[in-house]
Amino acid sequence: MATGAMICKAELQIADMDRNYYQNHSLTVACHPSETNERMMVRVLAFALYAHEFLSFGRGLSAQDEPDLWQKDLTGAIDLWIDVGQPDERDIRRACNRAKQVVVVCYGGRGVDLWWSQNRDKLERLSNLSVIALPYASTQALARLANRTMQLQCNIQERQVTVIGGSDIVQIEPAALMVP
């Protein structure tokens, strides 16, 4: 019998001074059996970076035709498509055709550099794509905050992110590899 997803609950307080966005969110995050804590927490971080009242988690690893997060308007049109990791270039192109804006949040240390060097030329042609990379040490520290129930505070100012979970503080400086 297959192992089911682990369900995590997060109370996330967001103070994004760059976007003037201040909200509390109660998140339910399903962690696929093959998903690492690092990937799950990067999804939570992506939620904080692009938080909006209509932003929601997709079915994740269990659905290839859905992003990790997306924001739809009231008509069902996709305003924002967010993928986490190092997705295939063809999948990114497909997403760019379906959504107004697409964001790829990369993590994984040296693997990001290799992925970017292999895909950069093709991706730079996409006018509605943003690609950001997260430092390996930061995502590893973020993974250590993972728990079934979490109280997280995320402060964003001048593209610097501070995530506080209990007595642990994680500093993250996302690097913009590509902006539209």
Task: Give pLDDT tens digits along the chain (180 positions).
Answer: 446 678 899 999 999 999 999 999 999 998 888 889 999 999 999 999 999 999 999 876 556 778 999 999 999 999 999 999 999 999 999 999 999 999 999 999 899 999 999 999 999 999 999 999 999 999 999 999 999 999 999 999 999 999 999 899 999 999 999 998
* 127: CATH: 3.10.640.10
Whether residue 89 is contained in a domain is answered as: yes
Per the structure, the complete domain to which residue 148 belongs is given by 6-178
Whether residue 132 is contained in a domain is answered as: yes
> Which residues neighbour 140 within 8 Å (Cβ) at sequence distance 6 or greater?
38
Q: What is the pLDDT of residue 4?
A: 66
Q: What is the pLDDT of residue 1?
A: 40
Number of domains in the chain: 1
CB-CB contact of 148 with 9 (8 Å):
yes
Whether residue 57 is contained in a domain is answered as: yes
Whether residue 92 is contained in a domain is answered as: yes
Whether residue 110 is contained in a domain is answered as: yes
Q: What is the pLDDT of residue 62?
A: 57
Q: Where do runs of H (alpha helix) occur along 99-179?
A: 110-123, 136-143
Distance of alpha carbon 107 from alpha carbon 135, whole angstroms: 7
Whether residue 1 is contained in a domain is answered as: no
